[in-house]
Structure 1
Amino acid sequence: MTKFGIQVSMSQCRRAKKYALNLVEGSLVEHYGVKQGWTECCRRIIELDGCFLKGVCEGELFCVIGRDVNGKIYHIAWAVVSVEIKQNWKWFLELLIDDLNLNLGNGFSLMSDQHKGLIEAVKELFPYVDHRQCARHICQNLQKRSTGAIYHTLFRRASKATTEHALKVVMKEIKTLNPYAHQYLIEKDPKTWPRAFFQAGRCCDAVENGFSESFYDVIVDARKKPIITMLEELRLYMMDKMHYQVLPSGLNQFELRGATDAYEVDLERKTCSCRLWQLNGYGCAHYVAIISYLNRDVEAYVDNMFSTTTFKKAYNYKISLMNGSDMWLETNYTPPLPPISRRTLGMPTTNRKKATTENTGTHMVSKAGKKIRCSICKEIGHNKTTCPQRRPQKLNVKKQKKQKVCVKQNTGQGSTSEPQQH
């Protein structure tokens, strides 16, 4: 290309851009040269290493992502390894065990995309962990093998079934529709992806690992940078994500500022500009941050509607006891008559009248891309009307019908005279 009368090639532009980035951010060799010093500095700040994310910065980026009590993303730890293999997963999980005192994984749940090295490492180090598979990954692979929206719908029903009976009903439907799809789900170990087999007491019914995908989108630009720059951007992002700045303004009035937003909180009136506190009565994350900043009791700002005193008031009254009809007292009042029945036009309705917004028709699923399976020979590509195994039987039936018609025509003339002898 030509700029200011000077011929400049694309390769020269790329080399110039690379040279400028090396001047600003440093080369990869320089980053790994100071990596040990950066690591020792970080060890004094945080001791957590953790779970799983794939990166492009000269290796693989593992990341631990959890959920807080509000169901939001909570970043725990991250680490860079050379390649995603079993030995690196073991090293990663051993650090996680030491930092979080996970022992053998009893009482914890882990969800992943079931990498082979990860599965083996978890079996060795976390024999009692509730290891779940991401239902979204399984559904995507299922739709590659069996096209059609019906498979997505049935699999979602199966993954969210909370009892074994409900799961068996949906799996039977899938098997009737496509035995190959049913066999694929059986091979994926149905005790690792439906809610029916999730261990109780974990307070998490998630069936897919969507948090990791949203985290991938956030760090797309950071993954393209050298290792120290990438790790520093991740550290600063985690700090901004977890930190709120509290600015007092008068008595019990505060402004809470995050990375990109700000909210007004009034503790005396129990209001927040996000309106969640006014709607639910027990507060939002913004007022909790201010209460923690003031070192006060969070429960003192919860509405009385959620107190045990209010709960007991609701059940303070009881229904009066009553004897059977044989012990009822006799009265001198004239017995009342039932109301006069009104007969309306047409047949009486027994079903509930549906609203205009309710779906009254049946939902038709498109069969575009669906493979037709014969119900006679179980082969793909034709149905029972064009099945080659059915055609000989159909021809024999047609011949038998023709013979019966011919016999009826010969014998059914209605004549009672004997045939003449020639």
Structure 2
Amino acid sequence: MVESNPTVPLRSIQEQVQKRLQVGVSIHKVQRAKATATKQVSGDYTKQYEVLRDYLMELQATNVGTTVKLEVVNEPNSTRETRQFKRVYICLGALKKGFKADLRDILGLDSAFMKGPFPGQVLTTVGLDSNNGIYPLAYGIVETENMSSWKWFLECLGDDLELYSNSNFTFMSDRQKGLLPAVAQLYPQVEHRFCLRHIYENMRIKWKTKEYKDHLWQCAIATTVPEFEHYMNELNKFDKDAFEWLKNPPPPPLTIGPEATFQAEQDQIYCSTIYVRFSTAVPYGEDLQCEESDVKAPGPLTPTTSKLLERNREASVQYRARWNGTAKYEVYGPWHDQHVVDMTNMSCTCRRWELNRIPCRHAIATIHEMADSGDKVGELYTYVNKVYWLQTWNEAYSYTVDPIKGRAMWLKSTCPFKLTPPPHHNQPGRPKTKRKRSVDEKYDKHMQNHGAGEPEKLTRKFVSVRCGKCNNRGHNSRTCKGQGGNAGSNEGGNAGSSQGGNA
């Protein structure tokens, strides 16, 4: 039962045993039996660390160009035959080549805790492909999330991508612990921007209505300084406290506005979190699946880019362009929207052409004016950066990740030291097994089940329990150590005297 469905509930196992064998067992015995069955099916966690070196060798032998780096805990006694696992970094060769062929200099960084008996953090980095899809790149398993682990991970990533201190990349993150100083030390010239969705999640703790979200997004998608200042003033008029929070949020400082807009990006970009949680440090290579490009997409551009360009083309019919005798044009349209387009530098004063590398509505109106004047302008897609071309998209996914053989056929490592799991200390209290979902996730699930309706409220069930011994809240009878006994007795005494008085 566990082999066919590893997530089978304990109650279901208990009912099946009672029906098939007509034996009643406690839920705790079922839990121990499932743990034993899971160990037999999945293997022992400790033994899986012993074959980690064999797995890394098989990964490098199967996928040419794969980078793996393994670190162990320093052992003062050099005669010991064991070494404790500390860190591992893996970047598959196919993903590395595909990222370089994709031509987009943007990296998303995130982390997640590991599930299982041994602690740790999974550090991941992803890119964006030509169709604005998530492109996995590299991951690492470290002991904890701090500046040292992030610095080690970024150094390994920099060696693979040939990043230097003066490299012009864009990093996007949720301001994880230790990440900001690590990036500042290793790559001081990069643009480090923060995920607006996570910023809004922090903002909505105090300001929950949709009006605040609309004001925040208007400020975020502004492409010019006057436009950004205008929307910030609108937010100040709407709520001064929210305006001050957005200007000076809790540390680390928030970077927002036109200077925070990504280079070569389309509209707003969410921080994509890859919650890759391995129960051991030995994942299977065949579990990794990459998105394939749609080779049947019509036209020379990717589907998403074609839609954005078509949207700009439809909006350009409301604009008129005037030539000034050189390579510049004055473009004006409705709502006093007037900008200057420079065809030599392929830029517009609205800054969308420089930021997206896709012709804006003003640039397309200029190109139409040039065509009407008899100039040879060529096809409209030629003004789009090659990063969005279908040819680039196909080349990024032309490198495939090869599957690996079974564990019995792996080459054995010749290292004389046996690898053991990282040190582990049980934390007090019951560990959490499920991540608390946000309101948006609850709403998405409700929409899938019912199709419409208001978002569900986050449940507060089991948040505060009452002890059966001392009658106090905050713990149960199993963990009761006599705390709050006086409060419980007083509460009972007051209740008794009240009932006696009423009687």
Partner AA of 2:300 in structure 1: Y
Match in the other structure for 1:30: 47
For structure 1, the 5+ residue unaligned runs are 245-262, 266-271, 286-309, 319-422
SS in 2 for 1:110: strand
Alignment map for 1:179-198 (pairs within 5 Å): 179-188=240-249, 192-194=255-257, 196-198=258-260
Q: Judging changes above 3 Å, is the alpha-carbon distance between structure 1 residues 86 and 99 closer, same or farther for their aligned structure 2 residues?
A: same
1:236 aligns with 2:293: no
The answer to whether the 8 A contact 1:61-1:78 is kept is: yes
Shift of the alpha carbon at 1:169?
1.0
The code of the aligned residue for 2:256 comes to W
Normalising by structure 2, we get a TM-score of 0.45
| Residue of structure 1 equivalent to 2:279 | 225
TM-superposed deviation, 1:178: 2.2
Look up the SS of the partner of 1:87 in the other structure: helix
CA offset at residue 159 of structure 1? 0.5
The match for 1:402 is: none
- CA distance in structure 2 between the aligned counterparts of 1:227 and 1:135, rounded to whole angstroms: 32
Retained in 2: the 8 A contact 1:111–1:209?
no
**In structure 2, distance between residues paired with 1:190 and 1:151:** 20
Output the aligned Cα RMSD.
3.0
Worse-superposed segment, 45-54 or 21-30: 45-54
Q: Do the aligned residues in 2 keep the contact of 1:59 with 1:81 (CA within 8 Å)?
A: yes
1:202-213 → structure 2 map (5 Å cutoff): 202-205=263-266, 207-212=268-273
Contact 1:60 1:80 in 2 (8 A): yes
The correspondence for 1:156, drawn from 199, 206, 217, is 217
- For 1:142 and 1:205, the matched residues in 2 are separated by 24
Tell me: CA distance 1:284–1:163, structure 2 relative to 1, closer, same or farther (3 Å): closer
Match of 1:125 among 157, 175, 186: 186
Q: For 2:238 and 2:301, locate their aligned partners in 1 and report how far apart those are by CA, in whole Å.
A: 48
Q: 2:239 aligns with which of 178, 193, 202?
A: 178
CA-to-partner distance for each residue in 1:347-391, whole Å, 9 max, x for gaps? xxxxxxxxxxxxxxxxxxxxxxxxxxxxxxxxxxxxxxxxxxxxx
Larger relative CO (CA 8 A, sep 6+): 1 or 2?
2
**Offset at 1:205?**
4.4
1:277-300 per-position Cα deviation (integer Å, ceiling 9, x unaligned): 1xxx22668xxxxxxxxxxxxxxx
Between the aligned partners of 1:199 and 1:139, the Cα distance in structure 2 is: 16
1:12-91 to structure 2, matched below 5 A, reads: 12-44=29-61, 45=63, 46-47=66-67, 49=91, 51-57=109-115, 58-91=119-152
- Cα displacement (A) at 1:187: 1.9
Offset from partner CA, 1:81-117 (integer Å, 9 cap, x none): 1111111000000001111011125221110001241
Give, in whole Å, the separation in 2 of the partners of 1:179 and 1:312. 45
SS in structure 2 of the partner of residue 13 of structure 1: helix
**Aligned residue in 2 for 1:252:** none
**Alignment deviations for residues 21-52 of structure 1 (CA, whole Å, 9 cap, x no partner):** 21121122112122233234334531264942
Give the whole-Å Cα distance in 1 for the aligned partners of 2:206 and 2:132.
Answer: 33
* CA-to-aligned-CA distance 1:116-143 (integer Å, 9 cap, x gap): 4101111111101110010111112112
TM-score under structure 1 length normalisation: 0.53
CA contact (8 A) 1:85 1:117 kept: yes
Cα 1:142/1:105, change in 2 over 3 Å: farther
Give the partner amino acid of 2:112.
K
> Which structure's CA Rg is the greater one?
1
State the match for 2:27 in structure 1: 10
Q: Distance in 2 between matches of 1:146 and 1:73?
A: 30
- Identity in percent: 26
User: Equivalent residues in 2 for 1:88-167 (5 A)?
Assistant: 88-104=149-165, 106-167=167-228
- Quote the Cα distance in structure 1 between the aligned partners of 2:253 and 2:181: 18
Find the residue that maps to 2:256 and give its secondary structure: coil
Give 1:175 deviation, angstroms.
1.9
Unmatched 5+ stretches in structure 2: 1-13, 68-89, 92-106, 304-366, 376-503
Q: State the shift of 1:59 in Å.
A: 1.3
Assess, with a 3 A threshold, how the Cα gap between structure 1 residues 32 and 197 changes in structure 2: closer, same or farther.
same
